[in-house]
Structure 1
Amino acid sequence: MKALRWHGTGDVSVDTVDDPQILDAHDCIIDVSLTAICGSDLHLFDGYIPTMEDGDILGHEFMGEVVEVGSGVQTLKKGDRVVVPFPIACGHCHYCNRDEYSLCDNSNPNKEVQAAAYGYGGAGLYGYSHMMGGFDGGQAEYVRVPYADVGPLKVPESLTDEQVLFLTDIYPTGYQAAVNCDIQQGDVVAVWGCGPVGLFAQISAKMLGAQVIGIDRIPERLRMAEQFAGSTVLNFEDEDVFDKLKEVNDGRGPNACIDAVGLEAHGLGLTGVAQKAEQALKLQTDRGTALIEAIQSCGKGGTVSIAGVYGGVLNHVNMGAAFGKGLTFKMGQTHVQKYIRDLLGHVERGELDPSYIITHKAPLAKAPELYETFRDKDDDCVKVVLDTSWDDDHEVEVRTQKVEA
């Protein structure tokens, strides 16, 4: 089969590899129809996540058709069309029983490696380093899915692949970020980042009753925040975010702030230069510009919800501000299995069409060039979806009409 493999920082290619096999009675094999490039994949592409190995297959947002099931699988059969949550969960450990699926005790065979860095190990993740289990990812024609009775969700024929693909990660991730804010009707929620997760966080916060402010510097992303989520937007290159946010809630600031950016946040001025230099010099592993601003801007007694991925150590985080204002922090990998059925209901009822955010669709063969396009935010690129049924010569479909002013 063909699969997108990592060979080093900035080096990925579509290669021919062996087809996946059933390794456990509770596995299934998926014939991938659509898969996507996630902002989190860029952290791998850019070399910021440790324990990657040459030849690792990337990708954790994928769906397709079941083509083989292990003898122990009870809920799926050949021919079922499914979406697959990105965290792998056993369904019966202490954490799975509490609906905390991304903390699963049993799905990560390398949890001791993760524990050495983090104190404890969490769930295995598809295509996201050996610290997270070393599982092959879904940017491929086929993928092995462990614990097939726990993860994959059958989707109705009335919905297209594009409408349900993002149930695998970015829609539940944005939704969990909003839920973590404990939103009350009329609360003001500020969201750093108007990329895919930030957009879903914004629309989720609005659905939960918040007034939403989206913060970014990329014009097409800001337009999407206005059009898709109905947010008020701030361009941090043009306006002082802290000063503008102090004006809301009669000067009290936002009730909650969501960091949907993570470890490669861009910053302005000397602070931005210092953050990038310290990361390059390995004086810190992550750039925390968005998180630092969220802590500073959040109103007293508020919540800082972190959906953007962090992998290690941050400098310049003002814990004094967090302590002095009595802030609550909520964060972590998404418990996709907890939310996925309810969010499928939103899509079925036509309350939103997640496919709106797709700006680029292409065959798997075009993935390497689109990693660069997505990373560099060229060509008004907000979200890339790869269609494994398209032949290698199929042109990239660019949906620029989606983000017109």
Structure 2
Amino acid sequence: MKALTWHGKNDIRCESVPDPKIQHGQDAIIKVTACAICGSDLHIFDGVIPSMEHGDILGHETMGEVVEVGADNKKLKVGDRVVVPFTISCGECFFCKRGFFSGCERSNPNADKASKLWGHSPAGLFGYSHLLGGYSGGQAEYLRVPYADVGPIKVPDHLTDDQVLFLSDIFPTGYMAADFCNLKGGETVAIWGCGPVGQFAIRSAFMLGAERVIAIDTVPERMEMAREAGAVIIDFRNEDVYDRIQDLTGGRGADACIDAVGTEPETMSGVDAVIDRVKVATFMGTDRPHVLRQAIHCCRNFGTVSIVGVYGGFVDKIPMGSAINRGLTFRMAQTPVQHYLPILLERIETGEIDPSFVITHSAKLEDGPELYKTFRAKKDGCIKVVMKP
């Protein structure tokens, strides 16, 4: 089959690889009908995710048709149309039983490696390094899905692939970002990053009762998409983010702040952002947490900072004095996708949201390597890429 494979920094190839096979009774094989390039895939493209190996198959936003099931799989049958969550979860461990599917204790075969870095291992993920299981990803013609009687959700035929594909990751992640803000109605939510996850966070915050959403970015196409959703826009290259949020909130600060950027922010002003870049470039640091620092300072007393942007290692110069003295709450996670799937599928079916709004580029799998470059460079108005093998 054809698949997108990693061969080093900025080196993604479309090449022939062996077809996946059933390895366990709960497995299923999916013929991929649509897959996407995620913003977190760009961290792999940039070479900042450890434990990648030459030839690893990328991708964790995938859907398709079931073509084979293992003998122990009681949920799926050949011909089912499914969306596959990026989190691989057993459904039976301590965390899965409590709905914390992204903390699954059984799905990462390399849990010992992850524990050395993070203290404990999260769930295994598709196409996201050997630190998180070494699972082949879904930017391919076929995908093996472990624990397939737990993860995939069947989707109705009257919804298109473009409408449901993002249930695999970015819609639940954006929704979780807003859900973590504990909105009661009438709040102001500030969101850093108007990429795909940020776009879903904006719409989710409104769905959950926010009165005003402030969106921070500098890419014109992203800011316009956020504006169309009703957000107030701050271009961080042209305005001081802290001062502008203070003006908009009467000096109180935002009720909740969402970091939808993570470890690789766009070049931003400020001495700390420059120091972050120097540290990472000289291997003296692993992450660049400028956005997180700014979100803490912009959040009101006893507000919430919700973190869904990817961080991989250790962050420094975090203003914990500000957070502690002002009573901030931090909420963060890799998304337990399975927890949110029924709620979000219903919102799509009722027409409350059509997730296809975020797609700017549709292509074949063979176009993937060039589209990684386009997406990274934010060229050609690229916000979200969907590929159809």
TM bin, normalised by shorter chain, reads over 0.9
Aligned partner letter, 1:385: V
Q: What SS does structure 2 have at the residue aligned with 1:244?
A: helix
Q: Aligned-pair distance for 1:283?
A: 1.5
Could you tell me how far 1:319 is from its partner in structure 2? 1.1
Q: Which residue of structure 2 aligns with residue 230 of structure 1?
A: 230
Give the partner amino acid of 1:333: Q
Aligned equivalents of 1:363, 1:342: Cα separation in 2:
31
What TM-score results when the alignment is normalised by the length of structure 2?
A: 0.98
What residue number does 2:240 align with?
Answer: 240
Offset of 1:363 from its aligned partner?
0.4
Measured in 2, the distance between the counterparts of 1:382 and 1:302 equals 30
In 1, the alpha carbon distance for the partners of 2:193 and 2:253 equals: 18
Alpha-carbon separation, structure 2, partners of 1:163 and 1:187: 29
> Does the CA contact (< 8 Å) of 1:109 and 1:133 recur in 2?
yes
Within 5 Å, which residues of 2 pair with 1:314-393?
A: 314-388=315-389
The equivalent of 1:401 in structure 2 is none
Partner Cα separation in structure 2 for residue 378 and residue 317 of structure 1:
32
How far apart are 1:82 and its partner, in Å? 0.3
The residue number in structure 2 matching 1:203 is 203
Give 1:325's aligned amino acid: R
1:189-200 matched pairs, under 5 angstroms: 189-200=189-200
After superposition, residues 134-283 of structure 1 pair within 5 angstroms as 134-210=134-210, 211-227=212-228, 229-266=229-266, 267-283=268-284
Q: How many angstroms does 1:271 deviate by? A: 3.2
Aligned to 1:290: 291
Query: Gaps spanning 5+ residues in structure 2: where?
Result: none
311-320 or 20-29, which moves further after superposition?
A: 311-320
Counterpart position of 1:59:
59
Preserved CA contact (<8 Å) 1:191 1:260: yes
Distance in 2 of aligned mates of 1:209 and 1:305 = 16
> What is the Cα deviation at residue 321 of structure 1?
1.1
Q: Write the distance in 2 (CA, Å) between the matches of 1:287 and 1:387.
A: 34
- What SS does the aligned partner of 2:109 have? coil
Shift of 1:13: 0.2
The 8 Å contact of residues 364 and 386 in structure 1, kept in 2 or not, is answered as: yes
Alignment identity in percent? 56
Paired position in structure 2 for 1:99: 99
- What's the secondary structure of 1:242's corresponding residue? helix
1:341 Cα offset (Å): 1.1
SS at match of 2:271: helix
Alpha-carbon shift at residue 213 of structure 1 (Å): 0.7
Aligned letter for 2:140?
A
Tell me, what secondary structure is at the counterpart of 1:305?
strand
Aligned pairs (5 A) from 1:66-105:
66-105=66-105
SS in 2 for 1:287: coil
Tell me the distance in 1 between the aligned counterparts of 2:5 and 2:187.
Answer: 44
Q: Is the 8 A contact 1:188 1:248 kept in 2?
A: no
Pairs within 5 Å for 1:1-150: 1-150=1-150
Q: Secondary structure at the match of 1:251?
A: coil
Please list every run of at least 4 consecutive aligned residues from structure 1 whose deviation after the TM superposition is greater than 3 angstroms. none
For the residues of structure 2 that align with 1:328 and 1:247, how far apart are their CA atoms? 23
SS at structure 2 position matched to 1:301? strand
Q: CA deviation at 1:315?
A: 2.3
TM-score, normalised to structure 1's length?
Answer: 0.94
User: Contact 1:295–1:322 at 8 Å: present in 2 too?
Assistant: yes
What is the rounded CA distance, in whole Å, between the counterparts of 1:334 and 1:314 in structure 2?
21
Amino acid at match of 1:319: M
Q: Secondary structure at the match of 1:131?
A: helix
CA RMSD of aligned residues (A): 0.8
Deviates more, 1:60-69 or 1:269-278: 269-278
Q: How many residues align?
A: 387
Cα drift, residue 269 of structure 1: 4.4
Letter in 1 for 2:345: L
Question: Displacement of 1:139 after TM fit?
Answer: 0.3
SS in 2 for 1:39: coil
